[in-house]
Amino acid sequence: MINWNMATPKKLISGNGSVSCLSELLTEMNLKRPFLVIDPKVRQSNFGRIFEDFFGESFDDFGTNPTFLQVNNGACLLRKEKYDSIIAVGGGSAIDLAKIIGLTAINGGVAEDYFRDKKAKIQSVPLVAIPTTCGTGAESSPFAVIMDPNIPKKRGIESIFFMPTAVILDPQSLISLDKVMIAATGMDAFTHILESHISRKATALTRIVSKGLLCSVREPLEDALVKKDISALEKLQSIAFTARLLYPRTGLSIAHALSHPLGAFTGMHHGLAVVTFLEASMKFNLADCEASFYEAEKVMGLPSGDGLLSWIRSIIEESGMAEEISNNLSLFGNLSVKRIALEALQSSNIPSNPRELGLLETCKIINESLFIFGR
């Protein structure tokens, strides 16, 4: 029996140039004083400059892995200035930050309280999410992740109040992305789909959706990397949105579980951290998910046997992600494999991983992944 509580954004606007509907959307929602949370790099792009003229002031004091301090600074500002809504423009970092800012500002206290035992009881101000990557899916998720720099550790939290009120998917927001970031965010979305398809918690219902997404993702990802085709970017953005609606029900796998501690320790972009562990984790899990894995291979139109793993490797190499990951890893001394493994094993994604694993197996996946990328 399936018994799920489902939540989705109340309104979705998508298509090339759809950001032009923002003013009309705010009027429709009777919002007059929005608080802009925008990724600092996006702010410098042509797409980001649209919002400078529209809003004037903005909150962009955060990086790839926002911290509790940055959440609390944003929440204080939202309360002080009495904003009636939040516009989040950026990838998962900006959107997750905006979610927790809104929750904290309206329900009181500081962000850390909600990662202990404090429960939010009041709906946050309306949130309009405008993603600027083709992989986060944060715009369609009831989850948010924040960095605790004191540990360091990425910490996730779920709340019904995190679901954005409205989402605008405009592929023009992706034009400024370089090839590596298109690949990293696109492969993050692909991994959401593949992991949910092979998940121990997958059902006939979820696999209907994941099969459709697997059928759809290969061509636009390849086209977006080769020629930055706007139509391909639009499709990737839509796929990322849809995939994230799916996987809170199925869970993911060890690849995502490992990506969070690696990102916390190194500051590596989340998509790159996921890709770091993707190949080794799939090889480890294959024996316990052969039917669903080969089904994914088939619907993607790849050769049977090793077609999917070969395709993943070709995307990693041809996009420049392999070199970027190696460069990121080279900036650090000896990473604590055991510590990364122990933190990963605490992840909510472990119960959905297709194959049972403990500390020994997890360390083996990490070491194999580091070897693949020259560490």
In tens, the pLDDT along 24-34 reads 999 999 999 99
Task: Say if residue 160 is in the same domain as residue 235.
Answer: no
Task: Supply angle C-alpha 276, 277, 278, rounded to 5.
Answer: 100
Question: Residue range 323-344: average pLDDT?
Answer: 89
Task: Say if residue 156 is in the same domain as residue 213.
Answer: no
Task: Say if residue 164 is in the same domain as residue 186.
Answer: no
Please check the confidence at residue 7 and state whether its pLDDT lies above 90.
Answer: no
**3-class DSSP state of 156:** strand
Task: Give the total number of structural domains in the chain.
Answer: 2
pLDDT in tens, 238-252: 999 998 887 778 899
Please check the confidence at residue 203 and state whether its pLDDT lies above 80.
Answer: yes
Q: Is 131 inside a domain boundary?
A: yes
Question: Residue range 146-166: average pLDDT?
Answer: 88
Using DSSP, how many helices (H) and how many strands (E) does the chain show?
Answer: 16, 7
Question: Residue range 297-307: average pLDDT?
Answer: 93
Question: Residue range 60-71: average pLDDT?
Answer: 91
**Rounded (10°) angle between helices 290-299 and 307-319:** 60
The candidate with the shortest Cα–Cα distance to 238, out of 216, 211, 218, 207, is 216
pTM of the model: 0.92
Task: Say if residue 162 is in the same domain as residue 307.
Answer: no
Q: What is the CATH number of the domain that holds 229?
A: 1.20.1090.10
258: enclosing H helix or E strand:
helix 254-266
Any idea which residue has 């121990």 for tokens?
200
Any idea which residue has 């390849």 for tokens?
222
Boundary-marking domain end, from 142, 174, 206: 174
Q: What is the CATH number of the domain that holds 146?
A: 3.40.50.1970
Task: Say if residue 243 is in the same domain as residue 351.
Answer: yes
- Single-letter code of the amino acid located at 170: D
Q: Is 76 inside a domain boundary?
A: yes
Contacts of 264 (CB under 8 A, 6+ apart): 65, 147, 151, 152, 153, 154, 343
pLDDT at 260: 93
Q: How far apart are CA 268 and CA 332, in angstroms?
A: 11
Task: Give 289: exposed, middle or buried? Use CB within 10 Å, 0-12, 13-18, 19+.
Answer: buried
Any idea which residue has 């779920």 for tokens?
158
pLDDT tier, 56 (very low <50, low <70, confident <90, very high otherwise) = low
Question: Residue range 181-195: average pLDDT?
Answer: 95
pLDDT at 23: 92
Q: Is 268 inside a domain boundary?
A: yes
Task: Say if residue 16 is in the same domain as residue 61.
Answer: yes
Q: Is 2 inside a domain boundary?
A: no
Q: Is 6 inside a domain boundary?
A: no
- Lowest pLDDT segment from 15-29, 51-65, 112-126: 51-65
Mean pLDDT of the chain: 92
Residue 317: alpha-carbon gap to chain centroid = 22
Task: Say if residue 126 is in the same domain as residue 213.
Answer: no
321, 272 contact by CB (below 8 A): yes
Query: By percentage, how much of the chain surpasses pLDDT 70?
Result: 99
Please check the confidence at residue 176 and state whether its pLDDT lies above 70.
Answer: yes
DSSP 25-89: HHHHTT--SEEEEE-HHHHTSHHHHHHHHHHS--B----SS-BHHHHHHHHHHHHHHT-SEEEEE
Task: Say if residue 21 is in the same domain as residue 66.
Answer: yes
| Ramachandran quadrant class, 17 (left: phi over 0; alpha: psi -120 to 50; beta: rest) | left
Task: Say if residue 137 is in the same domain as residue 94.
Answer: yes
Q: How far apart are CA 56 and CA 173, in angstroms?
A: 19
Boundary-marking domain end, from 127, 152, 174: 174
* Cβ-based neighbour number of residue 238 at 10 Å: 20
Question: Residue range 286-310: average pLDDT?
Answer: 95
Q: Is 3 inside a domain boundary?
A: no
What CA–CA distances, in Å, run from 98 to 14, 108, 162, 173, 192?
21, 15, 9, 18, 22
Contacts of 117 (CB under 8 A, 6+ apart): none
Q: Is 5 inside a domain boundary?
A: no
| Domain encompassing residue 105 | 11-174
Please provide the size of the chain in residues. Answer: 375
pLDDT at 334: 75
Boundary-marking domain end, from 125, 154, 174: 174
Task: Say if residue 298 is in the same domain as residue 149.
Answer: no
Side-chain half-sphere CA neighbours of 264 within 13 A = 25
pLDDT in tens, 205-242: 999 999 999 999 999 999 999 988 999 999 999 999 99
Task: Say if residue 79 is in the same domain as residue 217.
Answer: no
Q: Is 105 inside a domain boundary?
A: yes
Task: Say if residue 264 is in the same domain as residue 207.
Answer: yes
